[in-house]
Amino acid sequence: MVDLLRHAVEPTIWPLYELSAGAWNRGDEVVLIGDAAHAMMPFAAQGAAMAIEDAFELASFVADGKPLAAFVDHRKRRVARVRSRGAFNRFAYHARGPVRLGRDLVLSLRRPESLAADFDWLYGYEPKD
Ligand SMILES: Cc1cc2nc3c(=O)[nH]c(=O)nc-3n(C[C@H](O)[C@H](O)[C@H](O)COP(=O)(O)OP(=O)(O)OC[C@H]3O[C@@H](n4cnc5c(N)ncnc54)[C@H](O)[C@@H]3O)c2cc1C
């Protein structure tokens, strides 16, 4: 790997950006979905999944004649929870020193099924249809 990097002609860094809080809609005329609305850090591997959920649920809100603000309010709560899980993953996966030892101890005490069940709210989400 070091050799590979040494031979790179112009090595660059691939920065990661996320969007902070802001408006997603302008009245009932325009609404942003996906990364345009809520680009997030990739530590929960859910950015594209959130864009797909957005699209599915937006279709449902529009079909029901609901205001875009209702869609935004509904999706912002879901996205905030996923974003916060990503921040936790970042902390846990990249832990160093005693924190890492503590993390490994906690994980070794949990049954795999119980660990997986912690993610039911994330991967078992039932979009509104
Ligand atoms: C390192 C990394 C790892 C990731 N891993 C995961 C993962 O495991 N799982 C997951 O779910 N997500 C993951 N993501 C996030 C995911 O890639 C994004 O959330 C997702 O691609 C967002 O989709 P989008 O359609 O909203 O935006 P984009 O994919 O950015 O699509 C926007 C499109 O619009 C086009 N465009 C822009 N401006 C214009 C214009 N003026 N006219 C016409 N077209 C235009 C762009 O070229 C682009 O094709 C990861 C992201 C990163 C950076």
Q: What's the Cα-to-Cα distance from 118 to each of 15, 27, 85, 94, 125, rounded to whole Å? A: 30, 37, 11, 20, 12
**What angle in degrees, to the nearest 10, is found between the helix axes of 47-63 and 68-93?**
160
At residue 110 the predicted structure's pLDDT band, cuts being 50, 70 and 90, is very high
Residue 129, pLDDT above cutoff 90: no
Which tokens hold the place of 42? 């990739």
Return all residues near 82 (Cβ < 8 A) that are at least 6 apart.
Answer: 40, 44, 46, 50, 122
Provide the percentage of residues in the chain whose pLDDT is more than 70.
100
Residue 62, pLDDT above cutoff 90: yes
Q: According to the model, what pLDDT value does residue 47 have? A: 96
Report residue 26 CA to chain centroid gap.
23
Residue nearest to atom 52 of ligand 1 (CA): 42
Q: Which of 33, 35, 50, 52 to mutate to test the pocket of ligand 1 (most atoms within 8 A of CB)?
A: 35
Distance CA 57, CA 123 (A): 16
Strands (E), 1-129: 25-26, 30-31
